[in-house]
Homo-oligomer: A and B are copies of this chain.
Amino acid sequence: MPTRDIPAVVVSRLPLYLRALCYAQQEGLTTISSQELGRRLGITAAQIRKDLSLFGEFGKQGTGYPVAALIRQLRRILHVDHVWDMALVGVGALGRALLHYQGFARRGFRIALAFDMDPTKIGRRVGAFVVQDVARLEAALRSADIRLGMIATPASAAQEIAERMVQAGVRGILSYAPIHLQLPPDIQVEYIDPVIHLQRMTFYLGAQGRPASADELPGAQPCGHHDEG
């Protein structure tokens, strides 16, 4: 498996292929062409064929790709043919939503542990989880052998939590805190910040927002601290 020297932009598309293939399978398709897959994703057929060809020859001329087999291949390539246990730090409104989210399990992930620093939250149940004291983060992560972490804390806490996760053996972090984390280059980091996405859209939408009132966009502090995401 030439898992090295695969362009990052190709890797970033593979999960989209997998997701679309799963929907196709649920619809009853047993084979799918690069053209049809591309249509469903807004990606050109040539792009998809080129990407997949980096990992092997999965298709058949004249008929396309066998859906089930390609799903298996992509799950193997992405290492989601096994389930990854994750740790969540930050059980605010967002953390609670993540704890209740049913979409992780069947796509290869499971939240195993949830932490917060708030004494009023520690020990309480949220869904199937008991919120643990973040003071015990390192010990708990090590004993559960956790490799993936999710951060849903205020931005002000995210860097420290990330460092402690890495100390405890975490190799990949998905952060909802709106701040860039400074971490060793061998640690995988991904970010989710809805405002970033919104601002990418408003660039193209023109000046149609509403006039800002004084306390919404104060000049002295035009961006705010973005806690509790």
Binding site for B on A (CB under 8 A): 3, 11-12, 14-16, 18-23, 25-26, 40-42, 71, 75, 77-86, 92-94, 96-98, 100-110, 147-148, 150, 171-172, 174, 178-180, 188-213, 216-218, 221-229
Closest Cβ of chain B to A116, distance in Å, is: 15
Q: What residues of B have a CB within 8 angstroms of the CB of A12 in the complex?
A: 200
Q: How many angstroms from the CA of A194 to the CA of B110 in the assembled complex?
A: 12
The reply to whether B201 and A19 form a contact with Cβ atoms under 8 Å apart is no
Q: A108-B198, A174-B201 are in contact. Are A221 and B180 (CB under 8 A)?
A: no
Q: What residues of B have a CB within 8 angstroms of the CB of A148 in the complex?
A: 198, 201-202, 205
Q: What residues of B have a CB within 8 angstroms of the CB of A42 in the complex?
A: 180
- Copies of this chain in its oligomeric complex: 2
The reply to whether B227 and A103 form a contact with Cβ atoms under 8 Å apart is yes
Q: How many angstroms from the CA of A154 to the CA of B201 in the assembled complex?
A: 23
A-B residue pairs in contact (CB < 8 Å), sample of 27: A11-B203, A14-B199, A15-B196, A18-B199, A18-B223, A19-B178, A19-B193, A19-B196, A22-B223, A25-B223, A26-B221, A40-B180, A79-B202, A81-B212, A81-B217, A82-B209, A82-B212, A83-B210, A96-B97, A103-B227, A106-B226, A147-B208, A148-B205, A171-B208, A172-B198, A190-B197, A190-B200
The reply to whether A180 and B103 form a contact with Cβ atoms under 8 Å apart is no
Chain B CB count within 10 A is highest, among A42, A102, A204, for A204
Q: What residues of B have a CB within 8 angstroms of the CB of A218 in the complex?
A: 106
B23, B26, B83, B94: the one within 8 Å of A212 (CB): B83
5 smallest CB-CB distances across A and B, nearest first, come from A22-B223, A106-B224, A82-B209, A172-B201, A103-B226
